[in-house]
A and B are shown apart, each in its own frame.
Chain A
Amino acid sequence: MAIASNALRAASTIVMLVACVAGARSAAAQSDPSAWPDIETKYVFGYTEGATIGLEGEKEVSWETSARFGKMGGHYTATETKLEFEHTPTQFFQFEFGPLLASHDIRNSAGLTDTRQFGFGGLFGELRFLLLGRGPESPIGLTVSVEPNWRRIDETSGARVTNFELETKIAADTELVPNRLYGAVNAIYEPEWTRDDTGAVTKESTLGLTAAVAFRPIEPLLIGAELGYYRHYDGYAFDTYTGDALYIGPTFYLKLTPKMFMTAAWSAQVTGQDVGSAGPFNLAEFSHHRAKVKLAMEF
């Protein structure tokens, strides 16, 4: 609880500070949107990714924390932080990698052991291939990505495990109104293999479809909304359907300087079904709320 409260308080403070910066910058910003610099869309849609892959030669370091709140009763907060290095070596390919930090604060949540911990969670990487670049060449941007993860701490329970996950994603985006309104959709397939400390192996997979829009009221700021629908299965090949969840929430992106930006997103599960339980939400496989904050610096 304390970790989550501190993280939320810090995030609120950052958001208020950057809103002040945005206000000051907007006063000086040009009011004609056609004169605004083009924007890279990868991070402007919250959990949904835009299709840009950065600029050839660009390098970036970032801190990104994703938090999940609320499971089946009691108190549940889990976070995963990516410390990320990202590079775009060509106009068609981008990669990123880094360590994962995990925290869990669980008390009296059904089916989970009480835990309060923070530590090194594993490693991740991501390869992104641009199939279509948005601009004069195409009204739509299209990117395929694969993100392998190795985790030593279970994302949900915080227990010691060996876990491998491969998130594969197709991201498409477009500019709905030039320099003002952007839209994106993602299709996700995420198989996962986990061995717990008793040696038992679990194979599972998640399918996802997300859609988002982002509006640019002033040059450095985008605010938007996104919708995410996820289906969970036992087995890699959709062997047994176990439940689904639908999330809706707002998104925020702010360019702090030409080389620094921050993003924030929050989503709530508005409906979901866990096979075998009658509740209006699926809290067995998904959390009730989720939020993320990212701060990045290019060089």
Chain B
Amino acid sequence: MILKTIMKTLTTLLLTVAVAGLAAGGARAQEKTATINISIKDHKFQPAEVKAPANKPLLLRVKNLDATAMEFESVTLRVEKVVAAKSEGTIRVRPLAPGRYKFIDDFNQSATGELVVE
């Protein structure tokens, strides 16, 4: 009896999360994506502080102007992407709440920056 209740609660929870995720995904697809440009040159992000609108899906366009590969990584954005030397990578990010989101070049962790969402 208790097991059934637990399984029912767990199933309901997972289904709710799945439905909420699908609904959020559908709603997100209808929102306009904001494109944010970030470059890295001489192993430094340019600009090191980038502004982005809150509650909108984002497309981060990361240009690597250096002669070596870099990896854009952010624990709070929950993304990582290797960008080859002298090339460009794009990363899709969910709509974000206002705040400051750190990012780094994981291949050279002295290169840091922040996405300021407001």
Contact = CB atoms under 8 A, between A and B. Distances in A.
Interface of A: 35, 37-40, 52-58, 88, 91-92, 129-131, 133-137, 144, 168, 189, 191, 236-238, 258-259
Given A136-B100, A144-B13, A40 B80 contact: no
Contacts of B117: 136
Contacts of A134: 76
A17 B28 CA distance: 48
Interface of B: 1-4, 6, 10, 13-14, 17, 21, 73-81, 93-94, 96-102, 104, 106-107, 109, 112, 117
Given A136-B98, A189-B6, A52 B1 contact: no
Nearest to A127: B14
B2 A56 contact: no
A137 B78 contact: no
Contacts, number: 74
B101 A136 contact: yes
A269 to B, nearest CB: 26
Chain B contact residues: helix, strand, loop or mixed: mixed
Contacts of A131: 17
B100 A191 contact: no
Q: Which of A58, A131, A237 has the most CB of B within 10 A?
A: A237
Given A129-B17, A258-B107, A57 B79 contact: yes
Given A133-B76, A135-B99, A237-B6, 5 more contacts: A37-B104, A38-B102, A56-B80, A133-B78, A237-B1
A153 B107 CA distance: 42
A37 B80 contact: no
User: 3 closest A-B pairs (Cβ-Cβ)?
Assistant: A136-B99, A135-B76, A38-B75
A54 B3 CA distance: 31
